[in-house]
Chains A and B, each alone.
Chain A
Amino acid sequence: MALLEKQRTRAGEEGPRPAPRLSLLTKDRLAAAPFLLGAVALVAALLLVPFLATAYQSLTRDDGFTSSFIGFDNYLALLQDPTFGRSLLNTLLWTVGTLILPVGLGLLIAVLTNAVPGGRWLKYVFVLPYALSGTATAVIWGFILRSDGALNQAIEFFGGDASTSGWLLTWPTNTIVMIVASTWQATGVTVILFMIGLQAIPKEVVQAGELDGASGLRLFWHVVLPQLRPVTIVVVGMSIANSLRVFDLIWLLTKGGPGAASETLAVTMYRQTFILSDYGTGAAVAVILSVIVVGASWFYLRHQYKRG
C-alpha cells in the first residue's frame, strides 16, 4: 500500500496540470472509490470480520457450546505455559531455517544451473517436488524418517549405527529434519523465481562488470546479486510468511510431538482449538500468530522498499 501511494503522488506531481493538484487528487480518489468497493467489501467480509470475531473470541472462555468473557486471561495463561514458549522457539527455528535453506539453496541452484550446460533440465529435478502438496510431502518423508524408515535402513545397510532414538522423536532433531523436508519441497519455487531474476539481468551489466575485471564470486557478489534484489525481496517475504504458518508437514509427521516438542504456533493453534476444544485459547494463539505474520511481513517489506 505504501508503495502504491508513493507512486501515485509522484505521478500527480509530474502531471501536466500542476495547479489544482490536491483537489484533483482527492477527486481522483473519490472517483476510484466505487471501483474499489467490491474488493474492499470482499476483504472486509472474508478477512476483517472473521479476524475481529477471532479477536473477540480470544477474550472468552469458549468450549464450543458456551462462551463467557474473561478479558486477557487466555493470553496470560499462554505466557505462563512452557509449551507455548517451546512453540514460539520452534516457530523461530522454522523462520531462520527457511530463510537459510530454501532461499540460500534456491539461489545457489538457480545460479549454478543457469551457468552450466544442460542446467535448464537439471533445475527441474529441484523444481519438481514443488508440484507436490504438503500432505504428500509429509507422507513421503514419513516413510523416510520414521525409526523403521528408509533413512535408518540405508544407514544400517551401509554398516552405520542407525539413530536409536529416532529422527522424529527428539528435539531439536525433529524440527531440523522437518525443516529439511520442507526445504526439499519449497526450494523449487525459489529456484524458479531466482531463475526469472537471473534471466532479467541485462547482459550489458554483466559484460560491463567483466570488462572492469570482475569474475567469479566477485562478479556474482557485486554485479549479479544486487540485480537480483527485487526478486530476493519477494522470495524472502514469501519464505517468512510460509515458515510462520507451517502446519501440514508437522501435523502429519509428528502431530507436534512427542509431547509438544515439535509444535509451532500454527500447530498449537490447531491443537488448542480442535483437539482440546478450547476455542478461546486457540483464538488467542491465532491472534498472536496473525500479529507476528503481518508484523514481520510489514516490517520486512517496508524496510526493504525504503532501502530500494
Chain B
Amino acid sequence: MYGMKRRSLVTAAAGGVPAALVLASCSQGSSSGGQSSDVVTLNGDRADFTDAYGLAGAELEAITGYAIEPRNVPSTENYQQVVRSSLQTDSTTDLVKWWNGYRLQDLARSGGLADLSGQWDSAVDQGWVNPETRDSFSYDGKVYGIPMYKSYWVVFYNTGVFDQVGIAPPATWDEFEENNAKLRDAGVTPLFATQEAGWTSSIWFAEILSKLDPVFYADLMVGEAKYTDEPAQEAMRIWSGMYAEGYFTAADVAWDSEPSLLAKGEVAQVPMGTWRNGTFAEAGLGEADYSAFLLPTVHPDTAPSVIVESGSISVAENAPNKEAALETMANWLAPEVQQPWVDNIKDTSANPQVTTDDPILETVLEAVGAQEPTELVRYWEASPPALIEGGVQYLGAFMADPSESNIMPTLENLQTLADDEWAQWDAGS
C-alpha cells in the first residue's frame, strides 16, 4: 500500500513536467484565443476604454461586419512586454493599441506591423484626418498606425478657486505668473507637478520649453539641437525660478491624487492632456467646476504652439484575422465611429469633422481655432523610447533638487544620454 503510494507519487511528479510544458504552451495562445470570424481582437492598456471600444465596435460592425473584442493589460509596462513578446507570433491580437512617434517607429521597424498607408490615404481623401500628422504615424515612408484620439496638452484649472482669488485664465505669460503669485498668497498651491509616476517629470520641461521656443523644442526632440543649448538652459531657469517662488506641489506627490487635489481646490492648475478629462469628471468635478486654457507663450512675439498626443491603433503583421483588421482600420476614423468613441472617452477625435459637446473640450477647441498653434509631438513620443525613459529620470532628479546650480549638470547628463541613445537608434535602423 505504502509502496504503491510512493510509486504513484513518482509517476505524478514525472508526469508533472510534461503537464507544465503543456500548460505553458496553452498559455501562449491565450492572447489570441476565442477567434471568431466576426470580431477583431484588440489589445490595450486602458481598461477604462472597454465601454468605448464596445460603442465604436458596434458602429464598425454595422459598416464592416466586424465588431471589436478588447483585451486589456492594466499595467502599461506589462502591456508593452506582452506586445513585444507576442507581436511576431501567431498569438498576437489583430489590433494593437500603441503610441505614435518614435514608440510606433520602434515597433514598426521590428517588422511586426502591417502597412496602413492605403487606409491612411483613404482617410485623408475623405477629410477624416489631418494629412500633416502623417509623419507621426509613419516609419520609413509607410504608415503603421491610425490615430486613436487627439489629446491637446492644456492647463486644467479649478474655476471656483480662480473666482475666489479673483483671477481669470491668463492670456500672457506675465498674467500666468501674476495668477500663480496670487494663488500662492491665498494659500493655494498654484501648479501640480510630480516626478512620482516617472514620466510625469517631462511635463513641465516640455510645456515651458515649447512655449519658450517651439522650433527649438521640435529640433531638440529629433536630435538636431542639444540639451545644453541656450533655449533649454533658459527653460530650466524659468522652471527653477517657479520652484523658488513656491508654485509647485512637492515632487513626490502621488500622481493618482492629482484629480482629487484639483477637485478639492488644494491645487489650482494642472497641466495635462485632454485624455485626462474623463478622470476629472469621475473625481467629482462638474462641468462648471473646472475648465482649461492653453498655456501662453513665454514671450508675446513667440509663435503659439500646443503639444499634441495621439494614441495609435496598429494592425499586427501576423494578425489571425488580418483582412478584417485592415478593413476595421480603414473605417476607424469614420465620423459615425468616432462620435460615440470620443463622447465616451471624453477626448477629442483626430477626425476634424467630429465635434464634441463637452464644454471643457469645446473651450480647448475654440482656443485652438482662435490661436491656430503649431502642433508639437509630446515629449513621450518625440524621441527614441530609451532616450525618453532615461531623460525623465534626469528631469525627475532635477525636480527633487530644482536649484540653479543643478541646471547644467542635469542638461549635461541629458545631452550625454541623447548622444548615446541617438547613436543606438541610428545603428538599429
Contact = CB atoms under 8 A, between A and B. Distances in A.
Interface of A: 34-35, 37-39, 41-42, 45-46, 63-66, 142, 146-148, 165-166, 168-170, 254-255, 257-261, 274-278
B171 interface: no
A177 to B, nearest CB: 12
Contact of B13 (A42, A169, A261): A42
Contacts of B390: 276
Contacts of A276: 385-386, 389-390
B393 interface: yes
Interface in B359-405: 385-386, 389-390, 393-394, 396-397, 399-401
A64 to B, nearest CB: 4
B88 A166 contact: no
B423 interface: no
Nearest to A278: B386
Contact of A274 (B81, B110, B111): B81
B77 interface: yes
Nearest to B112: A65
A45 B24 CA distance: 12
Contact of A258 (B20, B88, B111, B399): B399
Contacts, number: 100
Given A169-B251, A275-B77, A275-B389, A257 B110 contact: no
B10 interface: yes
Contacts of A35: 10
Is chain B's binding surface mostly helix, strand, loop or mixed? Answer: helix
B10 A259 contact: no
Contacts of B428: 63
A193 B99 CA distance: 50
A85 B428 CA distance: 28
Interface of B: 10, 13-14, 16-17, 20, 77-78, 80-81, 84-85, 87-88, 110-112, 195-198, 249-254, 385-386, 389-390, 393-394, 396-397, 399-401, 428
Given A65-B88, A146-B253, A276-B386, A257 B17 contact: no
Given A38-B16, A147-B251, A260 B393 contact: yes
Nearest to A65: B110
* Closest 8 A/B residue pairs (Cβ): A38-B13, A259-B397, A147-B250, A65-B110, A64-B84, A258-B400, A169-B400, A258-B397
B297 to A, nearest CB: 29
Contact of A147 (B253, B386, B396, B401): B253
A66 B88 CA distance: 11
A34 B84 CA distance: 41
A65 B428 CA distance: 11
Given A34-B10, A64-B84, A64-B85, A166 B393 contact: no
Contact of B253 (A66, A148, A165, A261): A148
Contacts of B252: 146-147, 166, 168-169, 254
Contacts of A278: 386
Contacts of A274: 77-78, 80-81
Contacts of A146: 196, 250, 252-254
Nearest to B10: A38
B14 to A, nearest CB: 5
Contacts of B195: 257-258
A287 to B, nearest CB: 20
18 contacts: A37-B14, A38-B10, A38-B16, A38-B17, A41-B14, A42-B13, A65-B112, A146-B253, A147-B251, A148-B250, A165-B401, A166-B252, A169-B400, A255-B198, A258-B251, A260-B393, A261-B397, A261-B400
A276 B111 CA distance: 19
Contacts of B84: 64-65, 277
A65 B393 CA distance: 25
A282 B396 CA distance: 22
A292 to B, nearest CB: 24
Nearest to B75: A274
Given A148-B250, A168-B252, A277 B17 contact: no
B105 to A, nearest CB: 12
A126 B77 CA distance: 35
Given A39-B13, A278-B386, A258 B112 contact: no
Contacts of B78: 274
Nearest to A170: B400
A255 B198 CA distance: 7
A176 to B, nearest CB: 15
Contacts of B254: 142, 146
Given A168-B252, A275-B389, A45 B198 contact: no
Given A41-B14, A277-B80, A257 B397 contact: yes
A45 B17 contact: yes
A218 B254 CA distance: 50
Given A37-B14, A277-B84, 13 more contacts: A38-B10, A39-B13, A42-B13, A45-B17, A63-B110, A64-B84, A65-B84, A65-B110, A165-B401, A170-B400, A257-B195, A257-B198, A276-B385
A166 B251 contact: yes
A276 B77 CA distance: 10
B4 to A, nearest CB: 15
Nearest to B390: A276
Contacts of B14: 37-38, 41
Contacts of A260: 393
Contacts of A261: 397, 400
Contacts of A257: 195, 198, 393, 396-397, 400
A277 B386 contact: yes
A278 B385 CA distance: 11
Contacts of B385: 276-277
A148 B386 CA distance: 31
A283 B400 CA distance: 30
A170 B396 CA distance: 12
Nearest to B392: A257
Contacts of A39: 13
B391 to A, nearest CB: 11
A35 B10 CA distance: 7
